[in-house]
Amino acid sequence: LQTDSFEEFYNYVESKSNYENQYVLPKNNRDLFETSDATIHVLGSYDFIIVGGGSAGSVLASRLSEIKKWKILLLEAGGDETAFSDIPGYGPNLRSMNWGYSTIPQKTCCLGMQNQQCDYTRGKVLGGSSGTNALVYARGSYADFDGWQALGNSGWSYQDVLPYFKKSEHIDISGYDVGYHGVGGPLHVNYTVPQSIIADTFIEACRQKGLEEVDYNGRNQMGVSKIQFNINFNKRVSASRALIDPIKGSRKNLNIKLNTLVVKILVKDTVAYGVEYIEAGKRYIVKAKKEVLLSAGSINSPQLLLLSGLGPKAELSKLGIRVKNNLPAVGKHLKDHPFYINLFFRTNLTAMNPTLRENLHRYLMGEAPLTRYNGLELIAFINTTNHTQSPPDIEYILTPPPLNLPPHIYNTNDDYSHVFQGYNTTTDFTTGVILLKPKSEGSVSLRTNSMLEFPLIDVRYFSDPEGRDIETMYQGIKYFLSFTETPAFKKINATLISTHPGCEELKKNPVDRDYWYCAIRHATSTAYHPVGTTRMGNSLQNSVVNNECIVHNMKKLRVVDAGVLPDIVRGHTNAVTNMIAEKISDVIKTHYGGK
Ligand SMILES: Cc1cc2nc3c(=O)[nH]c(=O)nc-3n(C[C@H](O)[C@H](O)[C@H](O)COP(=O)(O)OP(=O)(O)OC[C@H]3O[C@@H](n4cnc5c(N)ncnc54)[C@H](O)[C@@H]3O)c2cc1C
């Protein structure tokens, strides 16, 4: 959108918002998949073919195309971002940029969702999930990366990865922990202004519980903070806005194809030599002289590997897929952050609930609420055993009033939708509770042997046999409930008002364990952080790629995206994905003499 007219901008946003709200999510890939004829057109070759232009793919395309002599092809299933998707506040509405996934019906979680299936939004747009995500910049704990190294992944300790976090960052805020942040990198990091009516009270309540205000991406993660967002002034900073926009058109060696669905990685004798894709109803084959770089995300990368015959032998054979390489761990070890979504408090405060017109005026001045995804404002990291002892096991994330609760966001069933509709948007606030280091593992597998169908996503939150995950989540909720005893929360009369259909009869006292276990299993969704489905490691049995992201027992094939995390980080997953892609870009440049 190119306009200086406020009225035109207003009309544009209103019509886009209506369009997105009515958009019916796809149930399969038919829109991209159907071909007019079966002829396969064989094209020439590129040095590198990157599959997926999301967080990792955008970094790879930008960094590798710095080497002028290398020809790079980037294939992305989605289209381009828009002025509407640039507005952080509309992130949850971007249905037309969503693959449309949900989990398969769950037994241990998602019980308050329609058909016991949690929503599983993934970005289908240039920029990938960074084009639709919540923009929270949270790298994780030093202990995560030292843990990766201890698992045998040499080169991935905190000391090793910190320079790459810094390389990918441009910090715009003041008062940050010098030495831990980068200046001049592509990803802008900012606070949002002005603060909400509840921010000071929330920070004060944290202080009264012994939690200090910190820079959680600095030396000490433990405590409370304003969220550091990937925004620049008022706009979303997705990976493609940060890394592709500045070079679009000017790098003749980078060819970007949008609305293009890769359906197979072509493999001969354990060497990846190209990919097959569909574009505008036609099938093509294109070859890679150096490497195929799979960056289709932690759901679609394993899906493509499996469809290409790279995966667990028995599973593939059952679906009639010819096994090219028996890789037992493809699609296994899915880890994600369970996100408990139903902790709502009523206060004696009343926030203004501005009109769209007022909010858009504010947005153009760089002011909240539309500069915040769904209103998110503050973040706190705690440890349920010793509240300020690093590393954390629970994250709190505050959404202040005025609340904006898009009806479709969590796929809640009628009972739970009714509960959510009962919250008062101007007086109530909610604190999301995120389990940071789950033990439970799920999987991604194939429904059929065709890219036409969505993969099966089985998250299995709270399924660890020792029950450690649900107990930690319970302790996290219980600790936050004790905040109502702080003078700060008493002053605003913060009172828990959440109910949990299907669990109420279990409630003997406010912190009854059976009640909260039931509540957690009903009202936990995803923080949208799937990792581990193509994880890094040394064992063929338990991992898919080595410490340089090369697929085990394969040549010319790497996976570079959130799927390769050896274990989930105690943060969010966009920063770490950018860091990995920055590091692997350097590995590739060193290997092929491009430095
Ligand atoms: C709703 C939501 C909120 C989130 N909030 C946050 C947050 O606040 N902070 C944070 O740090 N992280 C957040 N995340 C997670 C973060 O965005 C992801 O971890 C990160 O973007 C993953 O990057 P990736 O490169 O692995 O995959 P993606 O960015 O998802 O990129 C994969 C790309 O590959 C394309 N693709 C897939 N299959 C094919 C195919 N067959 N052919 C061609 N192209 C294909 C996709 O369309 C997509 O563009 C959120 C995610 C979501 C969905």
What is the Å distance from ligand 1's center to 271 Cα? 27
Please state whether beta strands 254-257 and 72-75 pair in parallel, antiparallel, or not at all (unpaired).
parallel
* Contact status, residue 62 vs residue 242, Cβ threshold 8 Å: no
C-alpha distances in angstroms, 367 versus 79, 131, 137, 193? 28, 20, 19, 5
Ligand 1 atom with minimal separation from the 277 CA: 42
Domains of the chain: 102-122+187-236+336-445+455-526 (3.30.560.10)
* Atom 1 of ligand 1: nearest residue by CA position: 133
Q: Whose CA is nearest to atom 20 of ligand 1?
A: 574
- Ligand 1 first shell, C-beta below 6 A: 51-57, 75-78, 121-124, 128-130, 132-136, 260-262, 295-298, 300, 304, 528-529, 561-562, 572-575, 577
Could you tell me if 76 and 53 are in contact, meaning their C-beta atoms sit under 8 angstroms apart?
yes
Question: Can you state the angle between helices 574-591 and 158-167, rounded to 10 degrees?
Answer: 100
Using CA atoms, how far apart are residues 131 and 237, in angstroms rounded to an integer?
Answer: 8
- Ligand 1 atom nearest to CA at 123: 30
pLDDT value at residue 191: 97
In contact, 240 and 131? CB cutoff 8 Å: yes
Q: Are the beta carbons of 190 and 198 closer than 8 angstroms?
A: no
Beta strands in 22-133 (DSSP E): 40-51, 72-75
Distance 575 CA to ligand 1 centre (A): 12
Asked whether residue 262 is marked as a ligand-binding residue, the answer is yes
**403 C-alpha vs ligand 1 centroid, how far in Å?**
25
User: Of the residues 293, 378, 573, 584, which should be mutated to test ligand 1's pocket, given the most ligand atoms within 8 Å of the CB?
Assistant: 573
Ligand 1, closest atom to CA 99? Answer: 47
Residues forming a β-bridge with 264: 276
Ligand 1 centroid to 121 CA: how many Å?
A: 9
Q: State which of 74, 90, 130, 262 you would mutate to test the pocket of ligand 1, scoring each by most atoms of that ligand within 8 A of its C-beta.
A: 130
Question: Are 168 and 368 a contacting pair, CB within 8 Å?
Answer: no
Catalytic residue among 188, 337, 522, 572: 572
Q: Which helix (H) or strand (E) holds 8?
A: helix 6-22
Question: Could you tell me the distance, in angstroms and rounded to a whole number, from the CA of residue 497 to the centre of ligand 1?
Answer: 34
CA dihedral 547, 553, 557, 560 (to 10 degrees): -30
> pLDDT at position 1, please?
79
* DSSP per-residue codes, 267-315: EETTEEEEEEEEETTEEEEEEEEEEEEE-SHHHHHHHHHHHTTEE-HHH
Task: Please state, in angstroms and rounded to a whole number, the distance separating the CA atoms of residues 457 and 445.
Answer: 7
- What one-character-per-residue DSSP string does 413-457 give? -HHHHHHHHTS-TTTEEEEEEEESS----BEEE-SSSSTTSPPEE
Of 144, 230, 240, nearest in space to 192 by CA: 230
Reduced 3-state DSSP string for 539-552: CCCCCCECCCCEEC
Rounded Cα distance between 561 and 565, Å, is 8
From 522, 529, 552, 591, the catalytic residue = 529
Q: Report the greatest alpha carbon distance in the chain.
A: 72
* Catalytic (active site) residue 529: yes
How far apart, in Å, are the Cα atoms of 182 and each of 69, 76, 176, 192, 521? 29, 29, 11, 19, 40
Among 217, 371, 411, 528, name the best residue to mutate to test ligand 1's pocket (greatest count of ligand atoms within 8 A of Cβ). Answer: 528
Q: Report how far ligand 1's centroid is from the alpha carbon of 503 (Å).
A: 34
* Residue minimizing CA distance to atom 3 of ligand 1: 133
| 125 annotated as a binding-site residue | yes
Instruction: Report phi then psi at 362, rounded to 5.
Output: -65, -45
Per residue of the chain (595 residues), give pLDDT as tens: 788 899 999 999 999 999 999 999 999 999 888 887 789 999 999 999 999 999 999 999 999 999 999 999 999 999 999 999 999 999 999 999 999 999 999 999 999 999 999 999 999 999 999 999 999 999 999 999 999 999 999 999 999 999 999 999 999 999 999 999 999 999 999 999 999 999 999 999 999 999 999 999 999 999 999 999 999 999 999 999 999 999 998 999 999 999 999 999 999 999 999 999 999 999 999 999 999 999 999 999 999 999 999 999 999 999 999 999 999 999 999 999 999 999 999 999 999 989 999 999 999 999 999 999 999 999 999 999 999 999 999 999 999 999 987 666 799 999 999 999 999 999 999 999 999 999 999 999 999 999 999 999 999 999 999 999 999 999 999 999 999 999 999 999 999 999 999 999 999 999 999 999 999 999 999 999 999 999 999 999 999 999 999 999 999 999 999 999 999 999 999 999 999 999 999 999 999 987 6
Q: Which atom of ligand 1 is nearest to the CA of 136?
A: 8
Give CA–CA dist 556/273, Å, rounded.
Answer: 7
| CB 135, CB 368: distance < 8 Å | no
Size of the chain, expressed as the number of residues it contains: 595
3-state secondary structure 369-403: CCCCHHHCCEEEEECCCCCCCCCCCEEEEEECCCC
CA 135 to CA 143: how far, in whole Å?
A: 23
Residue 406, token pair as written in the block = 């898009």
What element of type H or E holds 515? helix 513-522
Q: What pLDDT is attached to residue 397? A: 98
Question: Using CA of residue 13, residue 14, residue 15, residue 20, what is the dihedral sign?
Answer: positive
pLDDT at 38: 82
**Paired sense of beta strands 235-236 and 231-232, if any:** antiparallel
Q: 449: annotated binding-site residue? A: no
